[in-house]
Structure 1
Amino acid sequence: MVDKGSRTVLHRPLMILAAAMAVLGVIALGGLVFDDRSLVNAPIWLKPLKFTISVGLYAVTLAWLIGQLARGKRVGWWLGTVFAVGLGMDMALLFWQIAVRGRTLHFNQETPVDQWINNMVANGAFTGWGASAAIAVLLLFQRLPDRAMNSALRAGAALSVAGIGIALLMFGPNEQQKAQFRSGERPSIVGAHAVGVPDGGPGLPVLGWSTVGGDMRIPHFFGIHAIQVLPLVAFGLLKLSRRYPVLESDFVRRNLVRTASVGFAGLLVLLTWQAQRGQSIVHPDFWTLAAGAGIIAVVAAGSALSLRAPRPMHQLT
């Protein structure tokens, strides 16, 4: 990011990463149409396509976030560059391992090459996670004119870092793999997306999330994209304030964003808890539904209180 007077240029390395994801996304989409290979019971190009979309959106959002920094601009620029390099390396290895070599990427320990690629991708992901966490810390020291957007950026970045961190829960051996280790056998796959069932079983269309067991990709995905959802909530409230006078107060909008952030955090914890118990997203039990109802009740009550809260005196004059 470079400031030229009042004009802010978006973080160039991140925008280059986003442009590269757009190109790779088109290639992956073509692969889905013209390449009928499959891997772990899914079209071989589906995972590269999903990752290009997710990484591309995240890169654009992070470039915009860095553009909001009034303090620590140079540090933010370098952190964004570290993220772009780390995730760029990861995506190059992902395409090479899956689309070119036709082998699984995550958790693959079958050969020395597979193990090296898996470790390099993990290093790139951890580097990106660390850079995102540091940018989240920088956002704590910013003071944007709009209080609602200020809260949205802070909470969104923090929850996004938590969502990335949830991926760590996937890399430990599951029960079957632990049994193999205890018997003296070294499994070729260490870690899993699914909980309680093997990876590659019945899943939701396109997303592939397990419909018969827990799936840690769900809270991981949900948490990562808080960085887009909560700022969109703040932006939507600002637009609605032109029609609804109660939302003209940025204190009201800020409190509504904070309420949405609490609800988002609660749902992230609920999805993680559900997946860790080996429960499918489409087959919630009583306790999952009860917890979900509790989150809805808290958000509804918080929203009502936010709308009824008195505005500061300087906004009444």
Structure 2
Amino acid sequence: MSSSLSFPRVRELHRPLVWFSASMALLAAIAFGGVLFDDRILVGVPIWTKPFKFAVSFVAYCMTLAWMLTLLPRGRRVGWWAGTAVAVTSLIEMVLITMQAIRGRQSHFNHETSFDSAVFQVMGATVALLWLAALVIAVLLLRARILDRATAWSVRLASLIALVGAAIGFVMTQPTPEQLAVGDDAGIVGAHSVGVPDGGPSMALTGWSTTGGDLRIAHFFGMHALQVIPLVLLLLVTLAPRFARLRDERVRLRLTFVASGTYAALFALVTWQALRGQALLDPDGVTLATAGAIALLGAGGTWAALRAPNHTVTAPTAKEFVS
């Protein structure tokens, strides 16, 4: 049994991403204190909720990127600059989000004053640059010759799903029908929720709407494929000493494809559910049927991956995947 799914020493990780992640861990602690002791409410939730959630999310996202960049056998200089761009743009975004929280102002979609509008426009530019830098990293991973194929495809597919998940953020900036009716007088342009106003009844901790669709669910679910899919492979590697079937790299590769496909299907489902204005915890029959079909296909794919004879294993090369 062999696997390149290992954790390098801290000094081998991308330093700007590591330092940014450390600063976000500190900010998360400060923001959590703000949630506890600052009684201000903004758009239906404690005002420090957004900095806290973004900080925690960035710790996971950027530390995962820092690890993925160590897997590159070539193109490390390009990867270093792309990772640095992610760290810098993310830092700018978090500074602006935190500043607006301190001011008691909404950071996203806010055009109520010229200053608020400028802040959101700068945030939009940083997010676009962040996405492009993440795209560069995804392309580098797609082209990289990583010896363990299961590891290679787990990071490639996770990166691609995360890119699509991040792109959901651009969908949120589009004006709602109610905002279009108001025209240029709308102070808020864009929304997290679909079918209901932002700031209504929501789930504890996440703040996701319980009465309508919420695009943040798809955004979150897609972006954190970056952690979930490699963690699934890590679990397979951890269990391999106890289960002989998992010791074969080809079996782990098949299971990686099944896990990635199932995750991508679930991401598509929660996106579709949100766009239909449907709350996550209030699915209709069609959503439940689709979720059931995905579960059955995932279970069937897992069974087939474990049962298939090893000589039938085929995996596309990175070049074939791109073409």
TM-score range (shorter-chain normalised) is over 0.9
Q: Which runs of 5+ in 2 are unaligned?
A: 1-8, 313-323
Alignment of 1:96-107 (within 5 A): 96-98=99-101, 100-107=102-109
Tell me what 1:160 maps to: 162
1:134 corresponds in structure 2 to: 136
- Supply the distance in 2 between the matched residues of 1:312 and 1:12 (Cα, whole angstroms): 42
Q: Which residue of 1 aligns with 2:149?
A: 147
CA distance in 2, matches of 1:284, 1:87: 34
Aligned AA (1:42) = V
Provide the rounded CA distance (Å) in 2 between the counterparts of 1:211 and 1:245.
Answer: 44
Offset of 1:33 from its aligned partner?
A: 2.0
- The equivalent residue for 1:195 is 194
Amino acid at match of 2:17: L
Q: How far did 1:8 drift? A: 6.5
More displaced stretch, 25-34 vs 280-289? 25-34
In structure 2, what residue type is equivalent to 1:243?
R
Partners in 1 of 2:93 and 2:191 — Cα distance?
A: 18
The code of the aligned residue for 1:257 comes to T
1:291 Cα offset (Å): 0.8
**Would you say the 8 A contact 1:71–1:141 is kept in 2?**
no
Task: Report if the CA contact (8 A) 1:83-1:128 is conserved.
Answer: yes
Among candidates 112, 115, 118, match of residue 116 of structure 1: 118
In the alignment, does 2:15 pair up with 1:12? yes
The one of 46, 51, 54 equivalent to 2:54 is 51
2:178 paired residue among 176, 179, 188: 176
| Residue identity in the other structure for 2:134 | S
| Aligned equivalents of 2:32, 2:58: Cα separation in 1 | 16
Cα distance in 1 for residues equivalent to 2:117 and 2:292:
43
Q: Secondary structure at the match of 1:192?
A: coil
Q: Where does residue 277 of structure 1 map in the other structure?
A: 276
Q: Which residue identity does 1:144 align to in structure 2?
A: I
Amino acid at match of 2:222: G
Q: Within 1, Cα distance between the matches of 2:28 and 2:286?
A: 39
The residue aligned with 2:36 is: 33
Which residue does 2:289 correspond to in 1?
Answer: 290
How many residue pairs end up in the alignment?
Answer: 305
Aligned residue type for 2:130: G
1:42 aligned to which of 40, 45, 65: 45
1:3 maps to what in 2?
none
Q: Distance in 2 between matches of 1:29 and 1:61?
A: 23
Q: CA deviation at 1:230?
A: 0.4
Residue equivalent to 1:309:
308
- Residue 48 of structure 2 is aligned to residue 62 of structure 1: no
In the alignment, residue 150 of structure 1 is paired with which amino acid?
Answer: A
Distance in 2 (alpha carbons) for counterparts of 1:33 and 1:177: 33
Counterpart-to-counterpart distance in 2, 1:54 and 1:207: 12
SS in 2 for 1:140: helix
Q: Give the Cα separation in 1 of the matches to 2:10 and 2:269.
A: 42
Deviation of residue 27 (structure 1)?
Answer: 1.0
Please say if residues 274 and 281 of structure 1, whose CA atoms lie closer than 8 Å, have aligned partners that are also in contact: yes
SS of the aligned residue for 1:270 comes to: helix
d(CA) in 2 for partners of 1:169 and 1:293?
Answer: 27
Between the aligned partners of 1:41 and 1:284, the Cα distance in structure 2 is 23
Paired with 2:193 and 2:263, the residues of 1 have a C-alpha distance of: 22
Looking at structure 2, the residues matched to 15 and 7 of structure 1 have their Cα atoms a distance apart, in angstroms, of: 8
1:7 CA displacement: 9.8
Q: Return the alpha-carbon distance in structure 2 between the equivalents of residues 199 and 127 of structure 1.
A: 27
1-structure distance, mates of 2:305, 2:139 = 26
Identity over aligned residues, as a percent? 46
CA offsets, 1:186-236, max 9 Å, x none? 200000000000000001001010000000000000000000000001111
| Partners of 2:69 and 2:83 in 1: CA distance | 8
Aligned to 2:320: none
Q: Which moved more, 1:303-312 or 1:110-119?
A: 303-312
Write the deviation string for residues 224-255 of structure 1: whole angstroms up to 9, x where unpaired. 00000000011110111110001111111111
Any idea what SS the aligned residue of 1:76 has? helix
Aligned-residue offset at 1:160:
0.5
